[in-house]
A and B are shown apart, each in its own frame.
Chain A
Amino acid sequence: MDFNDTPEEAAFRKEVRAWLDANATRKSDDKQSFRARNDDPNLLAKAKEWQARKAAAGYARITWPKEYGGRGGSPILQVIYQQEESNYLVPLGFFDIGLGMCIPTMMAYASPEHLQRYVKPALHGEEVWCQLFSEPAAGSDVAGIRTRAERDGDGWVINGQKVWTSGAHYCDYGIIITRTDPSVPKHQGLTMFFLSMKSPGVEVRPIKQMSGGANFNEVFFTDVRVPDAQRLGKVGEGWKAALTTLMNERLAVGLPAGGLDVDELMELARDTELDDGPAIRNQQVRGKIADWYVQQQGLKLTRYRTLTALSKGQTPGPESSIIKIVAAPKMQDMGAFAMELMGQGGIMREEVPHAAGFQAQWIAGAGFRIAGGTDEILRNIVAERVLGLPSDVRVDKDVPFNKLK
């Protein structure tokens, strides 16, 4: 056992590092983040610029085929690139949904002409994509969406509403799941399209999040016309297409990088006085630190097991399905505990060392437990796919959608 690169991997890592050194600034410590430091309105422009540079050098999507601007490389090389990139101060996060979920769905269903037209601009950061799945009445149960698409000549007319659409306010295109036949059970009447977010009738309204930021949106569709050629998959087979997207989501959702963790909690515990001395000497505090350390290590090492399979060209086991189940509540709970250590003062939004960071994680953790599959849905998935337990009773499964209450 070792954590070493194969000779091929080592050579690639060296090449990547040299390129990053020449093109970006190395972080002075691993908690630094571009986003935190650069709270400026030009972040998107900077991210697009970085994406373009990366794509020109062939690092934007290493696993994609060469014809689409990738390298046809193995997933482990993609991971190595990301590991190295995370040591540099570069603006990330704007293209994950588009390149991680939307374009892979396009690759599975769009025509060669459309791929010719859309993949390259997405890869080079010229056009940003969003995922228009969730609706007010359908989140976990995505197949319950109500946004309608109706035939009209050689095209379709879309009416309805999406919600929680990350990035819709700056996105150029989106993939959207719609209901084309309400007279059949819910999974059977769906169809997927892609569309321009600039289409007449599309209205994007940012939603202010609990964190204070506004990264997700409501998106309203009023008589939005979409040509039939922009359909992804067959009419009525939108669920199949949606599963392609969601499977890619599972691969994309990983550990949030660079957050505060056990080291910072220990620092805080050293600097905090409790009744019986420094918090770090208190057995309850030590017990919590140990538990989170075991989780932190467990997540990192579970990742390494997955990477081992990728490195050997094998299909990873199901172990990575535990990552978000552990990571999201940990973020929330550790944030809450860190604040408790500071006593009532822990609620103040000011720059006590780490206070703001732990508060931010306490808040972000609440969203992370929901986004990309809730804690409960992920447990269902483990129970059903890994342990082979029966699926939940689905009272609406065989009932025509328009007969549901």
Chain B
Amino acid sequence: MNFDFSDDQKLLKEQVRKFLTDKCPTKVVRRVLDGEETHADDVWKGLIELGVTGTGIPEEYGGLGLSPLELCVVAEEIGRAAAPVPFDTSVVLATEALKLAGSETQKKKWLPRLAAGEAIGTLATAEGPQPPKPRSIRATFGGGRLNGRKLPVADGEAATFAIVLANTGGSGDRAVSLVLVDLAQASVERTRVETIDPARKHAELKFDGATAELLGGEGEGWRLLERLYDAAAVYFAFAQVGGAEAAMWMARDYALQRQAFGRPIGSYQALKHKLADCYVKLELARSNAYYGAMMLTDGGADLPLAAAAARIAATEAYDFASKENIQTHGGIGFTWEADTQFHYRRARVMALSLGGPMAWKDKLVSRLEQKNAA
């Protein structure tokens, strides 16, 4: 039985943690939240130097060629710091999409630049306040041209390229394809959109006949997206676990220090039991995330189920810890000044960016049905 990370992986985790503790304290998150910058470029550059952007990219494409387990421990630390950097978009979604569906030419062109931190990639699926479905996607791609609007797109302003879900004329689930588009074109317009988490900037992307190319087969978009989301769900789960743990300890530290009615508030059971529940949810999430990591590494047949379980558990753990962290802080927790808001905002952004828990629960049961039928 070896259901744990290796000493080397733990060392890597410590290293990233130390870097983020030094270079990405909460005041950096606040700087981005309050300011105009698209992301904390100083932190991002440091992460590039540490090799984070190349972690999962094979050596032949200029990366470190490490296993998914290494990227999982890195993701946990990024989540713990609520780091305002394009990690989930560029290092997870764009990189994994290229690895999954990219042609040799596409991989050769983009992966080395992603590894070196010279390019930032993102994924653009949503078109406003409605979960994207093959039949509802309005953006179109044909004859090498992309037209339509995508919003909200995480890191849409900072990104060098985007992978866009677009209609290519097929029917049913085959109506959509993934399309890779270089964003440095006159026919691409980017506008910032306000979201619930200004520490992770989002944009609207408008394509007016932009030059683009298929990523993966035509009509394969939905199927590829599903596979991409399974991998991403595991990395996101680690980031969510890191964030949940940070929120839990923030609440605990405050509960030890704040007095009410002549006692530390942490001595009241209403709080103790709530924080114990944070711990319970966190450990359930961690265990499910570990299994997701294991399945990612082996290309395990159980990945679809493991990813869904990790996603559901981690989303719940992060939502719960981040909201009860505010609650534990009382009035001060509801101020702009307090650091409690960072995890609350990030938890919801992460919960919705690959589809929310309701959709994943439905998916999980479908996958269970398939497994049981097999």
Contacts and interface: CB of A to CB of B under 8 A. Distances in A.
A389 B255 contact: yes
A293 B309 contact: yes
A290 interface: yes
A384 interface: yes
A302 B283 contact: yes
A297 B287 CA distance: 8
A287 B4 contact: no
A319 B285 CA distance: 11
Contact of B4 (A76, A298, A308, A382): A308
B118 interface: no
Interface stretch (A1-9, A145-153, A333-341): A1-9
B173 to A, nearest CB: 19
B300 to A, nearest CB: 10
Interface stretch (B35-43, B77-85, B200-208, B273-281): B273-281
Interface in A369-391: 376, 379-380, 382-384, 386-391
B3 A387 contact: no
B344 to A, nearest CB: 20
Contacts of A3: 1-3
Main secondary structure of the interface of B (DSSP, over half): helix
Contacts of A384: 272
B100 to A, nearest CB: 22
Interface in B349-367: 358, 360-362, 364-365
A330 to B, nearest CB: 11
Interface residues of B, number: 47
A355 to B, nearest CB: 20
Interface string A253-294: 000000000110010000000000000100100110111011
B104 interface: no
Range of interface residues on A (Cβ < 8 Å): 35 or more
A305 interface: yes
B2 A308 contact: yes
A325 interface: yes
A393 B272 CA distance: 13
B364 A290 contact: yes
Contact of B1 (A76, A291, A295, A326): A76
A322 B361 contact: no
A383 B268 CA distance: 11
A319 B297 CA distance: 24
Contacts of B291: 297, 301
A390 B256 contact: yes
A308 B364 contact: no
B11 interface: no
A262 B257 CA distance: 42
Interface stretch (B91-99, B183-191, B217-225, B259-267): B259-267
Contacts of A290: 308, 312, 360-362, 364-365
B266 A389 contact: yes
A51 interface: no
A34 interface: no
B69 A1 contact: yes
With a 10 A CB-CB cut-off, give which of B1, B266, B288, B358 has the most chain A CB atoms: B1
Nearest to A391: B267
B3 A388 contact: no
Nearest to A262: B368
A307 interface: yes
Nearest to B358: A287
A311 interface: yes
B280 A307 contact: no
Contact of B368 (A289, A376, A379, A386): A289
A305 B284 CA distance: 11
A392 interface: yes
A191 B297 CA distance: 55
B28 interface: no
Contacts of B3: 1-3, 301, 304-305, 307-308
B280 A382 contact: yes
A283 B362 contact: yes
Interface in A298-325: 298-299, 301-302, 304-305, 307-309, 311, 319, 322, 325
Interface string A235-250: 0000000000000000
A382 B2 contact: no
Nearest to B366: A286
A266 B252 contact: no
B241 interface: no
A293 B364 contact: yes
A286 B284 contact: no
A380 B361 CA distance: 31
B309 A297 contact: yes
**Closest 6 A/B residue pairs (Cβ):** A298-B284, A290-B361, A383-B272, A301-B287, A390-B267, A379-B276
Interface of B: 1-5, 69, 248, 252, 255-256, 263-264, 266-267, 269, 271-273, 275-277, 279-280, 283-288, 290-291, 293-294, 297, 308-309, 312-313, 358, 360-362, 364-365, 368-369, 372
Given A304-B3, A389-B255, 17 more contacts: A1-B4, A1-B297, A3-B3, A283-B362, A286-B365, A287-B362, A289-B361, A290-B364, A291-B361, A294-B312, A305-B3, A308-B4, A322-B279, A382-B276, A383-B272, A389-B267, A390-B264
22 contacts: A1-B2, A1-B290, A1-B297, A2-B2, A4-B1, A4-B2, A263-B372, A266-B365, A266-B368, A280-B369, A286-B361, A291-B312, A294-B364, A295-B284, A297-B287, A298-B288, A298-B309, A301-B3, A322-B279, A325-B280, A387-B272, A393-B263
